[in-house]
Amino acid sequence: MTQDGHEIPFNRAYRTGRETAHIESAIESKHLSSGGRFTKLCEGWLTERTGSERAMMTTSCTAALEMAAILAGVGEGDEVVMPSFGFVTTATAFVLRGATPVFVDVREDTLCADAELVEGGMTDATKAIVPVDYAGVACDMDALRSLAEARGVMMIEDAAQGLMASRDGRALGSFGDLGALSFHETKNVTCGEGGALLVNDPDCVERAEILRDKGTNRQRFERGETAKYTWIDIGSSYAMSDLNAAFLWGQLEEAEAITASRRTSWDRYHERFEELEAEGLVRRPIVPDACVHNAHMYYLLLAGPDARRQVIDDLDGRGINAVFHYVPLHSSPAGRRYGRAAGELPVTDDVSERLLRLPLWADMPPETVDTVIDAVRASVTRSARVR
């Protein structure tokens, strides 16, 4: 039983068994801060896996997004277009620079940014667009990329949930000028807290190094490219410690196996809920043919907020922790204060009240998945049909 009293938690952090040995190795090396052996291993793996120009380990995906905002040059009077159905730091990273987030609706199928609506939310003040890869499923990247290039703005891909997922054979996080990944405990591959900035525009690499190292040219100094180590730009302490990177390396070594295990549970959910969807009681996730998802999340859309509340309560009574997801950014107190909505956002308003996330983690026993399925089926059959 978990600390919150649930026998089946929403998430259970996975351990490969290699993390402790790697942490001990980092301690023995006497290099615990950023830039050590494990930092370099993680960055090399991510660079090769995503095809990015450079991967830089950060303290969080939030830190990566804040770096991206600086690299995009956003400031007072600028606007940044993003979906309202997303995590708060997608917006705060740009609000901190003085920019205004412009919230747009998502597609009904993938719950990702709708390119036509993104274009509709753009003005002469638009500095960047920020698509979010929801549940490890890609947005229509070709359309968004073409839009960004045509309008001369940066595309920053929030791929917090996207590691090990792809579209048209290309890794998520690599489509924008910049991409951000998360290694939070709830993500497929984790180090508790951590992230990475994927720099896909070669012109951004040097400044990204400076920003991550507190505004200094330390990286160039350590490579022997300059005679002095000094402060030359704005920046902050965005770099991941080698201790965190050591834990993460133990996870990245098993990233394929972790993803395969999660997909097994995801597929089991998907198959068993097909009948409920055919009966009009739920809607299952939709994954476009061009996408390979990473089984980051399994969700259902229920009939409405009352039905969701009932299912959550029913599952909670059986010791199962199922949860809702984002409160729309455009209707949140800070969203209204710092941003604006580009028209009505009916899909976001609708799905935010109906979406239910089910327990899912690596090495989740099949019988545990079945217990959740049976509990959901029993509860949903008492709920109203999905319109």
Domains and CATH numbers, the chain: 19-252 (3.40.640.10), 255-380 (3.90.1150.10)
What pLDDT does residue 5 have? Answer: 67
Q: What pLDDT is recorded for position 382?
A: 79
Assigned token pair, 132: 């979010």
CB-based burial of residue 49 (10 Å sphere; 0-12 exposed, 13-18 middle, 19+ buried)? middle
Tell me: the pLDDT tens digits for 164-212?
999 999 999 999 999 999 999 999 999 999 999 999 999 999 999 999 9
Is the predicted pLDDT of residue 387 greater than 70, yes or no? no
Is the pTM higher than 0.75?
yes
The pLDDT tens digits for 139-170 are: 999 999 999 999 999 999 999 999 999 999 99
What does 36-63 look like in DSSP terms, one character per residue?
Answer: SHHHHHHHHHHHHHH--SEEEEES-HHH
pLDDT at 114 over 50: yes
CB 282 within 8 A of CB 275: no
Phi-psi region of 283 (alpha: psi -120 to 50; beta: other; left: phi over 0): beta
Residue 269 has pLDDT above 70, yes or no: yes
Structure tokens at 364: 């989740």
Q: What angle do CA 72, 112, 13 make, to 5 degrees?
A: 90
CA 275 – CA 204 distance, rounded (Å): 49
Identify residue 46 by its one-letter amino acid code. Answer: L
